[in-house]
Amino acid sequence: MAPENDLTAEILRNALCVAAEEASIVVVRSAYSTFIVEGADAAAAILDADGRLVAHSLSTALIQCASLRSALPHVLKAHPAAAMRPGDVFVLNDVYQGGIHANDLLVFRPVFVDGAPAYFTGTLIHVADLSGLSAGGMASDATDVYLEGLQLPPVRVATAAGLVDDLVRVLAANSRTPDKLVGDLRALIAGANVAARRLEEIIAEHTPAGLARGVAGYLAHTERRMRAGLAALPAGTHRGEYTLDDGHTVRVAVTADGAGALVVDFDGTDEQVPLPVNSGFSQTHGGVMYAVRCFVDPDLPMNEGCFAPVEVRMPPGTLVHCTPPFPGGGRFGTVAAAEEAIFAALTEAGGGVAASGILQAFSISGARRPWLHMSFDLGGTGARADHDGADATGALFGGGRNIIPQAEPIEARLPVRVEEVALIPGSGGAGRHRGGLGTRTVIRMLEDARVDTRGDRLHRPPPGAAGGAPGRAGGYHRQRADGTREPLGSKATRQPLAVGEALVVETSGGGGYGDPADRDPAAVRRDRAEGRTA
């Protein structure tokens, strides 16, 4: 028979996770951006007043929750807890204060115990549009942060009396799709409110002291398990690096003490660049947590207990920690490079890992009237020492494929037609184990439009490991009405696509592992029968 307090603690833990999950669902259901509502990608988290991550929503990309965690201390710095009032809601997007880039809005709401903020609920989505060079916030020629969009330090966006109308008017005035932007903002606030309401119910049921005790126990228990997992890593300093398409390199040294502590140091990483290639510290930190967690028990809950044993050193002014006024919007290439570098460091004894194709973003916007389709496709993952890579999944971003909208809802909403979404035969790198396949998506314009692209691992496709071949390089193309194709570039900005022309997005395949000559003949035959090889 389970001891009574164990059961209570477990109910409490689950109630916290359910509250975060519910907040995420509320945001998705009440948001307006197609990208969010059909792709179901909203992050939500519960934190305490010390900025510790207590629980987060599971259905979303993990590194977003790390950004919520990184940003909260900056909110508290700008708005001391003593100055907060029940009903206050804060918003920010500042990449130097834990944000990501202009379009990713982070919203926080304090939850009061005995008259003071004791917990915070937070939500985060990529909103439709918030100014900047290109609609959707994807301009790859934004040489500084101001060209990425409107900058928001932590500011109060709502009080118990409702929205702060003056601020909302400024936001709306800076959006190409003001109605959708305000709708998305309301959705973020609704999500934070719902989680706050659940938290208040939990406090009422378990008492403030009971909740505090439960949270402390939960985080401590997670930390013990995390340390036990990290203690199994080979002691010593391990080095790894990964080079982006433009030649810039992320370098990392991972030092394990063999007793459960880890230092991840990006000293030696190339300097930041005046283009949206860099990452803000919060997204890099999220990527580090993702990569490190691949080496511990995958069932561990994601909370402060996972963060505590890992010290992350991100030298300011480098690719992994941009400083003013360097932009941070193109961070996923850099974050994915940081992740691969950590994989390389921690697997150096075992022959390394084959690299994966990554998320390749694009946005299509109306040339004559405001409409926006922002989405991304996913590359194949690298093969592993004992199995083939997975086809087209968002491994390094910590998400899955369901962040990609289906064709029918896109066509029901926007003046485009999706003509093809297909795996590319032969795109997985050859090896004893084959890399996962990339995809091809063809989207035909029904109105004149402009397109922005943002990809990486296209000029330097994901390398294989232990003798495996790299995956096939993907790319972005314009397909003319007569069928001819021309490359658009991996960081194209506002390229015209006339009615009748199509955008072709091809993602890179994952690298192979081991000598292709050693591949099991049965696997070779199966690949051919299933159309995985040409």
Partner 1 sequence: MSATADGTADGAPDVTEGNASGVTLASDVGGTFTDVVLIGTDGQVRVAKTLTTPDDPTTGLLRGVEQVLASSGVAPGEVGRFVHATTLATNVILERTGVPVAFVTTEGFGSMLALGRQARVEEERYDLAYEQPDPPVPHTHTFTVPERVAADGQVLAPLDETAAARVADDIAALRVAAVAICLLHSYVNPEHEERLAAIIRARLPESVPVVTSASVWPELGEYERATTTLMSAYVGPVMASYLDRLGGRLRDLGVTAPVHVMESAGGVLPAALAAARAVYTIESGPAAGVIAAARQGARRGLADLISFDMGGTTAKAGLVRGGRPGVTHEFQVGGKGSFGGRRPGTGVPIKIPAIDLAEVGSGGGSIAWVDAGTLRVGPRSAGADPGPACYGRGGELPTVTDANLVLGYLDPDGFGELRLSPERAEAAIAEHVAGPLGVPVVEAAAAVHDIANAQMGAAIHVVTVRRGIDPRGFTLVALGGAAPTHVVRLAERFGIGRVLVPPQAGVGSAVGLLHADLAIERARTFLAPVGELVSCSVGRDRLGELADVLADLERAALVDLAVDRAEVSRSVGIRFTGQAHAFTVELPAGPITPGVVRGAAEEFYKRYHESYGIDLRDPAELTTARVRAVLPSGSRDTPRAEPAPDVAGARRVWLDGAFREVPVRARGGIAPGETLTGPCVLTEPQCSLLVPPGWRGTADDHGALLLESGTWPQKTT
Cβ proximity to partner 1: between 276 and 394 the closer is 394
Task: Describe the chain by its helix, strand, coil percentages, rounded to 5.
Answer: 35, 25, 45
- Residue 69, CA distances (Å) to 76, 97, 192 in order: 12, 11, 14
Closest to partner 1 by CB, 319 or 392? 392
Give the contacts of 363 (CB within 8 A, at least 6 positions apart). 134, 135, 136, 138, 372, 373, 374, 375, 451, 452
Query: Considering the complex, what minimum distance in angstroms separates the CB of residue 339 from partner 1?
Result: 11
Q: Which C-beta is closer to partner 1: that of 89 or that of 488?
A: 89
Q: Output 231 or 421, the one with its CB closest to partner 1.
A: 421
Look-up of token digits 């010390």: 50
Parallel, antiparallel, or unpaired: how do β-strands 310-313 and 262-265 relate?
parallel
Judged by CB, which is closer to partner 1: 266, or 343?
A: 343
Are the C-beta atoms of 416 and 333 separated by less than 8 Å? no
* Distance from C-alpha of 376 to C-alpha of 443, rounded to nearest angstrom: 12
Residue 277 makes CB contacts below 8 A (sequence gap 6+) with: 244, 246, 248, 319, 330, 331, 333, 334
- Smallest separation, CB 390 to partner 1 (Å): 4
Strands (E), 116-177: 116-126, 155-159, 162-163
Please tell me what DSSP assigns to residue 510: P
**Is the Cβ of residue 37 or residue 273 nearer to partner 1 in the bound state?**
37
Smallest distance from partner 1 to CB 24, Å:
12
**Cβ proximity to partner 1, 186 vs 494, nearer residue:** 186
Minimum Å gap between C-beta 12 and partner 1 is: 8
**In angstroms, what is the minimal distance from the CB of 465 to partner 1?**
12
Angle between helical axes of 4-30 and 208-231 (0-180°, round to 10): 90
Nearer to partner 1, 47 or 133 (CB): 47
Select from 144, 119, 338 the least CA-distant residue to 216.
Answer: 119
Least Å from the CB of residue 163 to partner 1: 10
What are 43's strand-pairing partners?
Answer: 124
Report the candidate in 107, 88, 119 with the shortest Cα–Cα distance to residue 26: 107
- Closest among 189, 180, 169 to 35, alpha carbons compared: 180
Residues 79, 159: contact at Cβ < 8 Å?
no
| DSSP codes, 29-85 | HH---HHHHTTT--EEEEEETT--EEEE-SSS-HHHHHHHHHHHHHHHHHS-GGG--
- State the minimum distance, in angstroms, from the CB of residue 412 to partner 1: 4
- Answer for the pair 283, 331: CB distance below 8 angstroms, yes or no: yes
Smallest gap, in angstroms, from Cβ of residue 62 to partner 1? 7
Which of residues 156 and 401 has its CB atom nearest to partner 1 in the complex?
401
Q: Nearest approach, Cβ of 190 to partner 1 (angstroms)?
A: 4
Question: Residue 108: in which H helix or E strand, if any?
Answer: strand 104-113
Q: How far is the CB of 443 from partner 1 (least distance, A)?
A: 11
Nearer to partner 1, 58 or 172 (CB): 58
Quote the least distance from Cβ 138 to partner 1, whole Å: 20
Cβ closest to partner 1, residue 145 vs residue 296: 296
31 or 111: whose CB is closer to partner 1? 31
Least distance from C-beta 300 to partner 1, angstroms? Answer: 8
Provide the phi-psi class of 494: left if phi over 0, else alpha when psi is between -120 and 50, else beta. left
- Single out the residue of 392, 283, 298 nearest to residue 336, CA to CA: 283
